[in-house]
Amino acid sequence: MPLIPGKALPYFENMIYLPMLLIVLQRDRELLEKGPFKLKGPYLKIIDATMTQVQSELQETKFYLRRHDMKVIRKDRDSMFTEYIFINGGYEDHRRYLNVRLRNRTEELLDSYFTRMGNYSASH
């Protein structure tokens, strides 16, 4: 049996990416509020709706991890890599992620959420 079952990996990775996504969204929201945009409302709605969706998925992820006795710990970070420890049933799996990959994946997720939010608002 592998240390990390395949079906659990997305939950572990959600615990990496979803908090990053919330930080990016919060910072962008603050910049948008302070920026010289003439019509801020529509942008703020998209950001707020996206943050609500991300927070909801993060809560589901935390619940899943608690229920399955799983944990993610961020360890060392340098200019190239960030190391995470995935704990599953007492086993530790150390994984190193390229920082550029973390950034790129976070951007992909942001694009995906914005696309979903755009589809949602267009249909409602």
Mean pLDDT over each residue of the chain, to the nearest integer: 91
- Confidence label for 121 from pLDDT (cuts 50, 70 and 90): low
Percent of the chain with pLDDT over 90: 76
Question: Which DSSP letter does residue 6 get?
Answer: T
Q: What global pTM score does this model have?
A: 0.88
Among 70, 71, 74, 63, residue whose Cα is nearest residue 20: 74
The domain ranges of the chain are 9-123
Q: Is the pLDDT of residue 1 over 70?
A: no
Q: Quick check: 47 and 110 in contact, CB under 8 A? A: no
Q: Is the pLDDT of residue 83 over 70?
A: yes
| Residues 103-116 pLDDT 10s | 999 999 999 998 88
